[in-house]
Amino acid sequence: MEIRIEHLNYIYGLGTSYEKKALDDISLTIRSGEFIGIIGHTGSGKSTLIQHLNGLNRASSGQIFVDGKNIYEDGYPMRQLRFRVGLVFQYPEYQIFETTVLKDICFGPKNQGLSAEEAEGRARAAMRMVGLDEHYEGKSPFELSGGQKRRVAIAGILAMNPEVLVLDEPTAGLDPKGRDDILGVLKQLHRESGITVVLVSHSMEDVADYASRIIVLDKGKVLYDDIPAKVFSHVEELESIGLAAPQVTYVMRALRGKGWDVSQDVTTQAEAADEILEVLRKAGVKC
Amino acid sequence: MLKDMTIGQYYPGNSLIHRLDPRVKLLGTLVFIISLFTFSSISAYALATVAVLTVVAVSRVPLRYILKGLKPIFILMLITILFNLFMTPGTAVLQIWKLKMTEEGIRFAIHMAVRLTYLIIGSSILTFTTTPNSLTDGLESGLGWMNRLHVPVHEIAMMMSIALRFIPILMDETDKIMRAQEARGADFQSGGVFHRVKAMVPLLVPLFVSAFRRANDLALAMEARGYHGGAGRTKMKPLVYHRKDWIAFLVMAGYVAAQILLRIFVKI
């Protein structure tokens, strides 16, 4: 499915002294099968933006078209849209409420009107996708670790079989291993099922290795919308809005500064390693 | 939905009313409310109207904003008025089936409506112009004499300020949880009473879990900073009366005097 956003504006607390423009003339298109990273500093509007994708927020002005249909038109099946665009919120604590993991994951599919058996089937499939094995089914979700709770939350959305999976800071507050695990799950999902993934984060490291397109938000505006290598070439601008390029970018820049002939388009550690080895080989070093 | 509630909220500003000592504002509100119930003639209400409008104008809180706070009370007010209209014994003006609308009832209903409206407006001005923290500070120091009666004033004030502090946080959290569950297809708006009550479970469970977690964290953080209750505790901003506060007391006394004079000399 394709989501096209046109001149979207969103203003908080309209008509009060707290009035604040959170999104300022946003236009972009999310195409089927993409893996998009949305990056921005705290308060840049990224969470506000993604809550428009499934209709939880209603734009102050502007339009959103899903597969060509305007979602703000009267009679648009908004609830169906929520099942098609699965949104995982930042903290799993906000959605976990059932006594067992399996029941909690069943909540979404049951709301879709599926029978108990169908919902359980979907829930079990979703658990496998996020790497939770059967012995978690009967456990209380409140007893799990932070990383596992987050898997339950993601599975709860995946069980609805969404076409687009949107995640708000899925790695916030996780240790490095938990972070790599979650991001690995997403990468695998994207590769195997072809689901569109939109990953929101304030960390470049998170998205650099996984996203094929990066959207940088600043003060409610789209600053960059491009492939990672192009976005990371604006290191100074990114730093000036409180972000940073991935560490690899800095290493490669430093090497170029020392006269090494390495490419600047490298964004992941694996690519960087290959590039450095290549240069060394050219120089006649055995490695 | 929850964000539309204006009653009891703080309206940021820097007007004279905002800067008054909270004790002055508390006493002022109390005096105003008592005056509403002691003086109930047309002239007394006229004077009260002038007083309210003046305070609102000085506070620079938009009148529209204050009136919005009346909305949640509207139903309660309607019921009160209807009861008074029909339940007060006296000369019948209108009779519908067994219900008699009486002249005394009409008069009483108008009185009640005016009193309730002013009561709410009066107390809203207090909460609009006073942060919850300075409000509880004011209560704590204004009611300090009750310590001698073994009333734990400080503890009550601390509980109040924590409760007040947590209202916006919990409202915000409720909103987030609702969204997270709506993203999973939860439906809080439609269906019968039973369905709606059941639909609240996915909202209330995470809310309670998070409230308890927050309470725990807060208790720990307070103890880590050596909190041990009220005895011997000093204030960062002790409450001190300034000139404007004394003037406000004088204005208050003037208002009460004017009400008494009206009562004696103007007979409407």
- Which pLDDT value is given to residue B165? 79
Domain layout of chain A by residue ranges: 3-233, 246-287
Least CB–CB distance from B182: residue in A82, A97, A157: A82
Say which residue, B168 or A277, is predicted with more confidence.
Answer: A277
Q: Which residues of B touch A95 (CB under 8 A)?
A: 177, 180-181, 183-184, 202, 206
**CA-based nearest residue to B30, from B155, B126, B104, B134:** B126
- Which pLDDT value is given to residue A14? 72
- Which pLDDT value is given to residue B147? 82
Domain topology for A3-233 = Rossmann fold (3.40.50)
- Spatial contact of B216 and B137, defined as CB atoms under 8 Å apart: no
Confidence of residue B1 (pLDDT cuts 50, 70, 90): very low
Q: Which residues of A touch B182 (CB under 8 A)?
A: 56, 82
Interval A10-55: pLDDT, tens: 998 776 667 888 999 999 999 999 999 999 988 889 999 999 999 9
Top residue of A53, A90, A97, A98 to mutate, by most chain B CBs within 10 Å, is A97
Task: List A residues 109-138 in contact with B (Cβ-Cβ < 8 A).
Answer: 111-112
Q: Which residues of A touch B210 (CB under 8 A)?
A: 93-94
- Which pLDDT value is given to residue A244? 82
Interval A154-210: pLDDT, tens: 999 999 999 999 999 998 888 888 888 889 989 999 999 889 999 998 888 888 888
Confidence of residue A62 (pLDDT cuts 50, 70, 90): very high
Confidence of residue B5 (pLDDT cuts 50, 70, 90): low
d(CA A155, CA A152): 5
What is the average pLDDT score of chain A?
Answer: 89
Least CB–CB distance from A97: residue in B11, B187, B205: B205
Domain layout of chain B by residue ranges: 1-130+238-268, 152-236
Q: Which helix (H) or strand (E) holds B94?
A: strand B92-96
Q: Does A76 touch chain B (CB under 8 A)?
A: no
Whether the pLDDT of residue B231 is over 80: the answer is: no
Interval A78-135: pLDDT, tens: 889 999 999 999 888 888 999 999 999 999 999 999 999 999 999 999 999 898 999 9
Which range has the worst mean pLDDT, A60-64, B84-88, B196-200?
B84-88
Interval B117-157: pLDDT, tens: 898 889 889 988 998 888 888 988 888 888 888 888 888 88
* Mean pLDDT of all residues in B43-49: 90
d(CA A170, CA B186): 21
- ipTM here: 0.85
What is the average pLDDT score of chain B?
Answer: 86
- Which pLDDT value is given to residue B81? 85
- Which pLDDT value is given to residue A149? 92
Is B184 in contact with A13 (Cβ distance < 8 A)? no
Q: Which residues of A touch B18 (CB under 8 A)?
A: none
B96 three-class SS? strand
How large a percentage of chain B has pLDDT more than 70?
Answer: 96
* Mean pLDDT of all residues in A221-237: 89
Whether the pLDDT of residue A145 is over 50: the answer is: yes
Confidence of residue A287 (pLDDT cuts 50, 70, 90): low
Across B163-197, b (16+ Cβ under 10 Å) vs e yields ebeeeeeeeebbebbbbbbbbbbbeeeeeeeeeee
* Mean pLDDT of all residues in B156-184: 88
d(CA B20, CA B143): 18
Q: Which residues of A touch B186 (CB under 8 A)?
A: 107, 111
Whether the pLDDT of residue A139 is over 90: the answer is: yes
Confidence of residue B234 (pLDDT cuts 50, 70, 90): confident
Whether the pLDDT of residue B8 is over 70: the answer is: no
d(CA B236, CA A35): 52
- Which pLDDT value is given to residue B55? 93
- Which pLDDT value is given to residue B4? 53
